[in-house]
Amino acid sequence: AQSVAQPEDQVNVAEGNPLTVKCTYSVSGNPYLFWYVQYPNRGLQFLLKYITGDNLVKGSYGFEAEFNKSQTSFHLKKPSALVSDSALYFCAVRRNAGNNRKLIWGLGTSLAVNP
Amino acid sequence: NAGVTQTPKFQVLKTGQSMTLQCAQDMNHNSMYWYRQDPGMGLRLIYYSASEGTTDKGEVPNGYNVSRLNKREFSLRLESAAPSQTSVYFCASSENRRGGLMNTGELFFGEGSRLTVL
């Protein structure tokens, strides 16, 4: 079965430090992978996606993510965290071929960046 | 651009009442979606519309109906609300040549509608 795991419910980092929000997936075949961010009482906003090509994907607000096929991971990273990055982050995945291509969402990771 | 607009933002219903959540997008997108977000359960797809004139069930369609009124508007109706439908509802849209579940493009979300069923 297809699944997405965000193993950490919460991540705490100090402002200026690098941050990583983890995502691993299980899907047959090649995946499409996405990261979204949700600020309090707001809708989700797209950050970046991996469809094909370069494994390192750059997105909005200085975020990037690396697709690692062997580890089935798509971790979100940022070299220097800002307090304004504090939000809920969702990873999502779906198959790129065959049946059952629905988007599968992770449960979210709450990122807190401390001043 | 307003993007995706949802109304109402908040609603309290009694069990058995009906209501319609409205959603409109001004980005000329083909596909539209309704999700619900519940603590510990992430986002779950209720219904989607790959293109104007079509609608399909998602993961949790029971107790809901939808109408794709035109390309801009996609409404979600609760015919007889139940406490289990207490949730935050999000409408989303996307533009993609292969819409609906074939979509590889980004989803644009509304701000959400918080529904409480007593």
Min Cα distance A14 → chain B (Å) is: 26
Cβ of residue A14 closer than 8 Å to a chain B Cβ:
no
Min Cα distance A40 → chain B (Å) is: 10
What pLDDT score does A13 carry? 97
CB A64 within 8 A of CB A58: yes
CA distance A89 to A6: 9
Half-sphere exposure of A94 (CA within 13 A, CB side): 19
Comparison of pLDDT for B110 and B99, the residue scoring more: B110
Phi, psi of B54, rounded to the nearest 5 degrees: -125, 145
| Average pLDDT, integer, range B27-56 | 91
Is residue B24 over pLDDT 60? yes
Q: How far is CA B52 from the centre of its chain?
A: 15
What pLDDT score does A72 carry? 94
CB B52 within 8 A of CB B95: no
- At residue A99 the predicted structure's pLDDT band, cuts being 50, 70 and 90, is low
What pLDDT score does B104 carry? 65
What pLDDT score does B97 carry? 57
Give the range among A26-35, A98-107, B29-38 with minimum mean pLDDT.
A98-107
Two tokens, residue A27: 């899907």
Helix (H, G, I), strand (E, B) or coil at B61: coil
Helix (H, G, I), strand (E, B) or coil at B118: coil
Q: pLDDT (tens digit, 9 = 90+) per residue, B46-101?
A: 999 988 889 999 999 999 999 998 999 999 999 999 999 999 999 999 876 555 55
